[in-house]
Structure 1
Amino acid sequence: MVEGNREIIVVDDDTGSSRAIERLLLTSGWHARSFGSAEEFLDSDRWESAVFLILDIHLPGMSGFDLHQRREDQGLSCPAIFITGHDRPFLRERALKAGAVAYFTKPFAGQLLIDAMRPHLDAA
């Protein structure tokens, strides 16, 4: 379980998808907070407290890749999963090169997400 003000962050402009992910994580015993854009997350008080990121690749404004890189550049690395509704081999390759724990194409099975996250969150 993620404790204190440290939490899982979901950045996805699809509110239905982000709410479904939040509910899934809650039923798994984890707390998540969603943001509709990278900029919204950047402006939040949650920027430094994230222990895990679930990032949509195609966001309005800054992409999920750019957001992830910005955190890395600031020394705020944490495990990340990239999600997209537009699967392309070059996107998958870029996600893996960025160190992604996983890469999923929407829609994806919730159990796949939980299974990819569990080893990283259990260790946190």
Structure 2
Amino acid sequence: MISIIDDDESVRIATASLVRSLGFATSTFASAEDFLLSPRRQETDCVITDVQMPGMSGVELQARLLREGCRTPLIFITAFAEERIRRQVTAAGAVGFLAKPFEGGEMIACIDRALNRDA
């Protein structure tokens, strides 16, 4: 199961469509808080999250999951691809940092890395 967290509904729908086309089940969430409260959290093999969202940001979500001992791989997507943020989330274990709009192949490569499916 791949969970997709983005406050932009069109991005959630498009990303979920791409991920489902690869044969994965998806769950979508409008906020990090919704994801954290969801029973789907326990079934999640990978999280794709926006960096900047109202409420808890993707960076804050990553920090919270790490504090809780959760090692689910995270892929970040953002309209504001700041190098400082990329370095921060990568140092904390993110498997991808993609600028919107991203190419489908870039996301596929990140998912493959997250799920250790490198060819």
Matched residues, percent identical? 35
Report matched runs for 1:82-97 at 5 Å.
82-97=76-91
Higher mean displacement: 19-28 or 114-123: 114-123
Higher mean displacement: 14-23 or 113-122: 113-122
1:66 pairs with one of 54, 60, 64: 60
Runs of 4+ off more than 6 Å: none
- Matched to 1:60, the amino acid is P
RMSD, matched Cα: 1.3
Report matched runs for 1:32-111 at 5 Å.
32-111=26-105
What is the CA-CA distance between 1:78 and the residue it aligns to? 1.3
* Contact 1:48–1:76 under 8 Å retained in 2: no
1:23 pairs with one of 17, 32, 42: 17
What is the CA-CA distance between 1:54 and the residue it aligns to? 0.6
Paired residue total: 117
> TM-score normalized by structure 1?
0.88
Q: Distance in 1 between matches of 2:25 and 2:16?
A: 8
Q: Distance in 2 between matches of 1:97 and 1:119?
A: 16
Q: Distance in 1 between matches of 2:70 and 2:90?
A: 18
> TM-score normalized by structure 2?
0.91
Tell me which protein shows more helix as a share of its residues.
2
What is the CA-CA distance between 1:122 and the residue it aligns to? 5.2
